[in-house]
C-alpha cells in the first residue's frame, strides 16, 4: 500500500481537486483507492449528517466502499478554521481519533490511500497541536499542491522547508494553475522547478484535467 498526505501552499489552492484526480486515475488503472479528509469545516447538514463537499469528492473518487463518516470523521458547519469551529461547538479535536480513522482505512488494504489536509501545512487543531503533528506520527510522504498565483514562490518554498524540518519526505509537488492570466506564469513555474527541494510531479492547466499521459505517469509514480 502507498499512502500520501496532500497539503497545499494555502487554502483554496486545489488540494481536493488534485486528490480526487489522483484517486480517480489510480482507480481507472485498476487500483484499490480511498481518500481521507479527517478534518473539515464548512459543512451542510443533510438528513441529520454533516456533509463536506471536499470529502464528498474524495468519497466519489474512492474505489473502496466507504462512507462519508469514514472519509470525514471530524466535521463542522462554519466555514472557518477547524479549531475555532471546534471551540465554538464545545468539542476538542483529538489527534488520536485522526490516527484511528487512518488506521481503519489502511485496514481495508487499499493500493493507494490519500489523506488530504485542510488549509496549509501547519493547520491548528487547538491546544498547540497541529495536523502536521499527526502526519509526522504516521510518517507519511507528502505531496504539495502549489496554487499558482502571485506569492506562490514564497508560500511553496516555506511549505517545503517546514515539511522537511519536520523530518518528512516530500514525494513531490504539483503546480495547479488557478487563474488563466497569471502574470509570468511560465517564469514562476520555471523558478519553482529550479528551487523546490523535491521532484516536480506535474502541472494542471487552468480549468482542465491533466492529459492522460500525465495521469498515467502520476499513477505509476504514486502506486509503485
Known catalytic residues?
A: 37
- Report the alpha-carbon distance of residue 199 to residue 181 in Å, rounded: 25
- The Cβ of residue 197 has, within 10 Å, a number of other Cβ atoms equal to 11
Cβ proximity of 125 and 131 under 8 Å: yes
Query: 24 near 35, Cβ under 8 Å?
Result: no
Residue 93 grid cell: 479535536
* SS3 per-residue string spanning 14-60: CHHHHHHHHHHHHHHCCCCEEEECCEEECEEEECCEEEEHHHHHHHH
Please state, in angstroms and rounded to a whole number, the distance separating the CA atoms of residues 169 and 66: 28
**Is 123 within 8 Å of 152 (Cβ atoms)?**
no
Rg of the chain taking only CA atoms, in angstroms = 17
CA-nearest of 38, 30, 85 to 63 is 30
User: CB neighbours (10 Å) of residue 149?
Assistant: 18
| Sign of the dihedral through C-alpha 28, 219, 137, 158 | negative
Amino acid at each position: 500500500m502507498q499512502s500520501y498526505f496532500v497539503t497545499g501552499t494555502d487554502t483554496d489552492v486545489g488540494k481536493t481537486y488534485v486528490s480526487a484526480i489522483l484517486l480517480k486515475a489510480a482507480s481507472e488503472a485498476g487500483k484499490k483507492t480511498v481518500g481521507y479528509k479527517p478534518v473539515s469545516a464548512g459543512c451542510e447538514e443533510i438528513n441529520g449528517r454533516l456533509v463536506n463537499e471536499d470529502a464528498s469528492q474524495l468519497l466519489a473518487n474512492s474505489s473502496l466502499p466507504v462512507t462519508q463518516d469514514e472519509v470525514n470523521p471530524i466535521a463542522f458547519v462554519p466555514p472557518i478554521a477547524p479549531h475555532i469551529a471546534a471551540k465554538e461547538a464545545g468539542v476538542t479535536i483529538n489527534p488520536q481519533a485522526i490516527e484511528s480513522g487512518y488506521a481503519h482505512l489502511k485496514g481495508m488494504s487499499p493500493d493507494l490511500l490519500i489523506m488530504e489536509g485542510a488549509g496549509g501545512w501547519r493547520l491548528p487543531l487547538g491546544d498547540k497541536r497541529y495536523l502536521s503533528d499527526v502526519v509526522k506520527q504516521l510518517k507519511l510522504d507528502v505531496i504539495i499542491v502549489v496554487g499558482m498565483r502571485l506569492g506562490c514562490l514564497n508560500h511553496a518554498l516555506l511549505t517545503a522547508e517546514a515539511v522537511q524540518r519536520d523530518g518528512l519526505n516530500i514525494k513531490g509537488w504539483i503546480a495547479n494553475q488557478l487563474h488563466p492570466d497569471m502574470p509570468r506564469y511560465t517564469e514562476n513555474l520555471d523558478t519553482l522547478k529550479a528551487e523546490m527541494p523535491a521532484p516536480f510531479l506535474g502541472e494542471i492547466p487552468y480549468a482542465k484535467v491533466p492529459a492522460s499521459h500525465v495521469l498515467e505517469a502520476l499513477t505509476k509514480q504514486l502506486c509503485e
